[in-house]
Amino acid sequence: MTESKCKTVVLISGSGTNLQALIDTAASEGAEFSVCAVISNKSDAYGLIRASDAGIATSVVNHRDFDDRGSFDRALMEEIDRHQPDLVVLAGFMRILTPEFVRHYKGRLLNIHPSLLPKYQGLHTHKRALEAGDDEHGATVHFVTEELDGGPAIVQAVVPIETGDTPERLAERVQVQEHVIYPLAVTWFAQGRLRMMGDQAELDGEILPRSGKKITS
Ligand X SMILES: NCC(=O)N[C@@H]1O[C@H](COP(=O)([O-])[O-])[C@@H](O)[C@H]1O
Ligand Y SMILES: Nc1nc2c(c(=O)[nH]1)N[C@@H](CN(C=O)c1ccc(C(=O)N[C@@H](CCC(=O)O)C(=O)O)cc1)CN2
Residues in contact with ligand X by CB under 6 A are 12, 14-19, 47, 91-92, 112-114, 139, 175, 178
Distance of closest approach, residue 187 Cβ to ligand Y, in angstroms: 20
Q: Where are the alpha helices (DSSP H) in 17-162?
A: 17-26, 46-53, 69-81, 99-104, 125-132
Question: Which residues have CB under 8 Å from 131's CB, separation 6+?
Answer: none
Tell me: is residue 96 an annotated ligand-binding position: yes
State the Cα–Cα distance between residues 37 and 22, nearest whole angstrom.
Answer: 12
Known catalytic residue at 113: yes
Could you give the residue ranges of the DSSP H alpha helices within 6-113? Answer: 17-26, 46-53, 69-81, 99-104
Q: Is 113 in the site for ligand Y (CB under 6 A)?
A: yes
**Is 49 one of the binding residues for ligand Y (CB under 6 A)?**
no
> Is 143 among the residues that bind ligand Y (CB under 6 A)?
no
| Closest by CA position to 201, among listed 162, 166, 136, 156 | 156
The reply to whether 94 sits in an annotated binding site is: yes
Residue closer to ligand X by CB (options 7, 42) is 42
Interatomic CA distance for residues 158 and 139, integer angstroms = 7
Residue of 113, 137, 142, 179 with catalytic role: 113
Of 103 and 204, nearer to ligand Y (C-beta) is 103
> Which residues are tagged catalytic?
113
Applying CB under 6 A, the residues found at the interface with ligand Y are 90, 93-97, 102, 111, 113, 122-123, 144, 146, 148-149, 151
